[in-house]
Amino acid sequence: MPETIKIFKIRFDNITMKEALKKALIFAKDKKQHYICTPNPEILLTAEKNLKYQEVLNKSDLNIADGIGILWAAKFEKITKNKKRPAIFAKWFTSLSSILFYPKYIRTELSERVTGTDLMQNICKQAASENIKVFLLGAADGVAKKVKNILEKKYPKIKIVGTFAGSPTKAEETEIIKRINKTEAQILFVAYGAPAQEFWISRNLKKLKKIRLAIGIGGAFDYIAGIRKRAPKWLQHTGTEWLYRLIQQPSRIKRIYNATVKFPVKVLRKRLR
């Protein structure tokens, strides 16, 4: 398997959850500053039209594949290299159907889906035993504090030294930076959603004196706080988590359409060029 792969010009690291966790903890204790990004199909569609966003994503220290669609796209590009149009169409249909019927098939180029929510919780579990300080930034008012309470009950030794909602606007950056620096936190989780959270980290990481690792984790706070429910594990493994989300939040239909229809079609069109 390749160590890295590019999809829509964005680098992905071929890494398992266990390996990503190990790297994250090394980053958190390093002298240098690091950030991790969690690109999914929606993020790739956004980055395709935004060169600055592409640059921010590709400068990260680690990009994990947060979406079955990413694993599929990596496999599809591999199996259609130097193929003619009829074969490309055929492999597009068969590879997409394999997500549901034979998910192992798409795990040859990128071996594992590593979600931001799962990575965050695993990092917090380890941070608790290694005396690493954590700050939670973002989401709606009160959500980060609720996440703090939940994680402290789950991991009694964890040191969550601060929470703040704020916003990703430049007008609030000075105040937020002061808040974080006062706590001397080493890990920062930013839940402003993409692309705002990645741009925020890119602009401000150097100003955060003690932060060694920053991660944009999208809606992870909402899932941990129970504001949104995650799909059962079997739906996550079969790539049909989107259906569960649609039933929960019909308002997400545009986002789900982008990830499940627009993205695969865009991948196909790129290969047909």
Tell me the three state secondary structure of residue 22: helix
31 and 76 inside one domain: no
23 and 78 inside one domain: no
For residue 234, name the pLDDT band (cuts at 50, 70, 90). low
**How far is the C-alpha of 124 from the C-alpha of 179, rounded, in Å?**
20
Say which residues have a Cβ less than 8 Å from residue 170's Cβ, sequence separation at least 6: 203
36 and 18 inside one domain: yes
Query: Do the beta carbons of residue 94 and residue 105 sit within 8 Å?
Result: no
What whole-number percentage of the chain has pLDDT above 90?
A: 83
Say which residues have a Cβ less than 8 Å from residue 24's Cβ, sequence separation at least 6: 36, 62, 119, 123, 213, 215
Number of domains in the chain: 2
Q: Find the helix packing angle between 85-101 and 68-79, rounded to 10°.
A: 150
- The pLDDT value recorded for residue 101 is 87
Query: Do the beta carbons of residue 100 and residue 236 sit within 8 Å?
Result: no
**How far is the C-alpha of 94 from the C-alpha of 138, rounded, in Å?**
40
178 and 74 inside one domain: no
Domain boundary among 225, 243, 262: 225
CATH number for the domain that contains residue 51: 3.40.50
Least confident of 25-29, 139-143, 201-205, 260-264: 260-264
Q: 76 is in which domain, residue-wise?
A: 68-112+233-272
9 and 124 inside one domain: yes
55 and 180 inside one domain: yes
